[in-house]
Amino acid sequence: MSKVGEGEILLIGNITSAISEADAQDKLPIQVCAGILDGIEASAKKPFSAIAVVMADTATNLRNGLAALRKSAKARILLLARMYEEPEAIKLVSANGNGKTLADDYIICPVRMEKLCEAVYPRAGIAAGKTTAADAAIQARIHQLEILATEDDLTGIKNRRYIREFARQIIERAKKNSGRVTVLIFDIDDFKRYNDAYGHAAGDEVLRQAALLIRRCCRKHDMVGRMGGDEFAVVFWDDPRYFPTAGAGERRSPAAEHPREAILIAKRFRRELEKTDLRLLGSNGKVILTISGGLASLRADGLTAEELFSKADHALLEAKRSGKNRVYLVGQPENDIDKIE
């Protein structure tokens, strides 16, 4: 059983789904409750250094549950979020109109037990005034390094490692609830020309503009990342918070399992990119930016993240060979998305 006493961490949810090496639970001061109601009762009986809530196991009425935890416990509340839950986690740790938050921080899981404890104890000490300013600075630096490990420093979107792991997790989730996932991989046509003709500063600006535009064109929950160089990826998926009946009665492209939204977003992005005004290229540097890309969908084109990325990458190469400035769907007789209504 877990150790008891002040300084203990209360974990609400399934410990094996959120923490790697969960069998180390007995060696660390962690108490586990199955649900929010049990957690509220436990937190009312004794103090905890922090309360860690597994979002995937407490999705029903999560906001109300967190609000109740706030009232019953003085401990810091940490969310244990899967990658696809990160947008919601960010909202929950952001202040509302009253300047209050439902949670203090979040950690992407699965997380090592030791890392969870490291996230709790130094920050709990800071909150209680038991640590120095140097300790706080170290924690801030650690948090900054965690961000750098998942984000592309040039464009500010997610990096290759994050986007591939996100795809793996969301595909695992989609297989359990018949969800749909589509991967888009694209790069900027003749990108090397911008670097050679206008310099690397202009090339960097092209990449930043592309990242900004694709992010604006996508839905809030879709995940955008830079794979490296001028290659980008988008993972489209059906989030039940936004599309509770996703798939029901939705019109599909012929003989395909690709969500119609992914095709529409890819078309919209191409139109917006062509209208981009790149000031860094100078008065004589007006050009039309175009992309080539490939779309691959779960079940129609593969059952793993590796398969989808490979199929989408192959479709991208086919688009390049066919003259560029187009996005191809895997497995379609006429696979240019411009030919699909």
The predicted pLDDT at position 199 comes to 84
Indicate if 32 and 125 belong to the same structural domain. Answer: yes
Residue range of the domain that includes 120: 9-150
Say if residue 128 is in the same domain as residue 178.
no
Same domain (yes/no): 179, 321: yes
What total number of domains does the chain contain? 2
pLDDT, averaged across the chain = 78
* Local confidence band at 8 (pLDDT 50, 70, 90 cut-offs): confident
Q: How far apart are CA 170 and CA 185, in angstroms?
A: 17
| CA–CA distances in Å: residue 301 to residues 3, 46, 260 | 49, 52, 16
* pTM, two decimal places: 0.70
Which CATH number characterizes residue 283's domain? 3.30.70.270
Nearest alpha carbon to residue 1 among 37, 40, 28: 28
**Residue 289 pLDDT exceeds 50:** yes
pLDDT at 245: 43
Same domain flag for 316 and 176:
yes
Question: Would you state the pLDDT for residue 214?
Answer: 94
Give the whole-angstrom CA distance, residue 154 versus residue 148: 11
β-pairing, 9-12 with 50-54? parallel
Q: What is the mean pLDDT of residues 206-216?
A: 91
Mean pLDDT of the region 187-199? 87
Residue 1 lies in a domain: no
Last residue of a domain, one of 120, 150, 180: 150
Residue 130 buriedness (CB in 10 A; 0-12 / 13-18 / 19+): exposed
Q: Span 211-234, mean pLDDT?
A: 93
- pLDDT tens track for 297-330: 987 777 899 999 999 999 999 999 999 999 998 8
Kind of pairing, strands 19-20 and 111-112?
Answer: parallel
**Residue where one domain finishes, among candidates 94, 124, 150:** 150
Q: Which residues are catalytic?
A: 230
Q: What confidence category does residue 4 fall into, taking pLDDT thresholds of 50, 70 and 90?
A: very low
